[in-house]
Amino acid sequence: GQQVMQIPQYQHVQEGEDFTTYCNSSTTLSNIQWYKQRPGGHPVFLIQLVKSGEVKKQKRLTFQFGEAKKNSSLHITATQTTDVGTYFCAGNFNKFYFGSGTKLNVKP
């Protein structure tokens, strides 16, 4: 199937520090979505990006879609302990394929 690469695999930060996770696809995506999964839970939708170069913000979270629609990033400003979880991107190739995820741990 299609592949969506995501880095880093893990990120440990001190509360208040910033965090960024990156997704890359070898082929152009029609759109990309981001999800958060808490330990023991199921993925929860965060946002969808559709347009080339699109930037969307949700409070401390900033999502970007690359100009070529092959890469995307999620940036969290001033992390909090409630941000702990695994963040997945999902690329749409007429069906969604998930990136490998970035597990975020925030130390209080």
Partner 1 sequence: GAVVSQHPSRVICKSGTSVKIECRSLDFQATTMFWYRQFPKKSLMLMATSNEGSKATYEQGVEKDKFLINHASLTLSTLTVTSAHPEDSSFYICSVTGGNTEAFFGQGTRLTVV
**Contacting positions for partner 1 (CB under 8 A):** 1, 6, 30-31, 33, 42-45, 48, 50, 88, 90, 92, 95-101, 103
Both structure tokens of 85 = 């979880």
Q: Which is nearer to partner 1, 43 or 66 (CB)?
A: 43
Q: Which is nearer to partner 1, 90 or 106 (CB)?
A: 90
Q: Which is nearer to partner 1, 10 or 15 (CB)?
A: 10
What's the closest the beta carbon of residue 95 comes to partner 1, in angstroms?
Answer: 6
Measured CA to CA, the distance from residue 105 to residue 28 in angstroms comes to: 31
What's the closest the beta carbon of residue 26 comes to partner 1, in angstroms?
Answer: 16
Measured CA to CA, the distance from residue 84 to residue 24 in angstroms comes to: 22
Scan for tokens 């981001």, then name that residue.
34
> Hey, how many other C-beta atoms are within 10 angstroms of the C-beta on 53?
11
> Hey, how many other C-beta atoms are within 10 angstroms of the C-beta on 65?
23
What's the closest the beta carbon of residue 59 comes to partner 1, in angstroms?
Answer: 18
Measured CA to CA, the distance from residue 36 to residue 106 in angstroms comes to: 15
What's the closest the beta carbon of residue 43 comes to partner 1, in angstroms?
Answer: 5
Q: Which is nearer to partner 1, 33 or 64 (CB)?
A: 33
